[in-house]
Chain A
Amino acid sequence: MKKLLVPLSLMLVLVIGFALTANRASAINSNARTAAMAESNISIEETPSSPAVQVFQELNKKGQAKIGEGWLYMRQSDKVDVDPPKEEGVVPLIDTTMDGWYYINAKGFAERFVTITRTMDGQIQQVGIYSDGTTWNTMVDETEIMEPFFFENFNYGLPYGFKSPDFKSNNIALEDGSEAVLFTYTLKEEDPYYAFDYSSSARVEFMSYEYIFDSDTGFFVSLKQTVHFEDDSQRVLSYILLEEIKFIAEPPADVLKYFDLKKTREEQK
């Protein structure tokens, strides 16, 4: 009996180890599945509703109802405030604008798009093109396979804030007098930390987020992401403004030519 004790113990440990691994692998696969589902058909997270969440969901429904079949044009700007890098190889965030043309089909799925990102002096930094089930980016010259995705009203990740206990909404008036809703929340890590983009600053204590949505259209207006440091100073890491969003008959010819360029590049590969 004693002779059997050691092999049996070893087997038991291995079985427990395997079960733990399988369980975790299953959890990872489950997460991957969820993420893969999100990639092909991203949906707003279902979370127990606070009043602010309900306000957002109503606005989002309003905005979503305005997205129909055809070419949607959007233009956003992204202004950042970060430290210049000290270390070689670090690529700093820079101010950019992005123009995007999305073809949305009758079922609400984006089938094709061209996005052009420019630096503030108007130079093209990169172009992203999606057609025939693949995306190609001019900056990195890489192709990715992607299914058509359900085109959701732009939210720039607002639903992530639903998890925050201080997620709330307030009605506000914009500079032009139009009505809007301001959503705010904060994110605090367990411990303060030195951030990659603020190597010469104090440790980050928390981040705050301010989203504005147009009450009339339900469309995103802006997002201000502020970093709050331990020494009570703060900096706006990123300010994103959706400058324009509208349906158009067709993108300009110099935009459509990118579909041909992508096709040519894919044939060369």
Chain B
Amino acid sequence: MADWLNKRRWAKQVLIGLLSCLIILSLLALPRNQDWMQGTVQRFYQQRQNLGAKLDRQSRERAGYGKAYQYVTLIKQHCKPTDYFLIPPQRYLIRKAYRIGASDGYAWLYPSVLYYHLGQSVQLLDMTMPDTALRRATFTFWVKKGTLELLRLTSANHRDVLATFRQYNPSFFAYTPEQARKYYRSTK
């Protein structure tokens, strides 16, 4: 009798288990859930397959930070802690080299993002600082023939660079690629 009851309890558990499966399958069959599971979640698993084996910090930072990684690495390679990096106005880069920064809207120019990546490896200068401070600038980013380059500031180019940067509002900030796109389109 006990054995029979045990079997019956198991049978009921299996039946309710089938109900669980049915509920899950019904939820998965709903179009949005299906799209999400087969799209986004599958893409994440794909990403893991491609990246999962790499465990070194550098590969992970390169993949995570995107283009910002290239630019901050460039600054770190060329600047010393005693150098002053002049943060160019975001509007300047958006207008002069939109295609290069379309995917991130140059949001990595945000002073705290640069500080997060660079720390004290270089001194950051903001365009709103007084002229006496800006005179100390030794590096900046400059657009030349549609490409972005790290420019060493010298007495020969210092004045021209500042004059160009001053044409753009230094307090403007596009936090998202959409905001950058909106600004870029408004200038066309």
Q: Determine if chain A interacts with chain B.
A: no
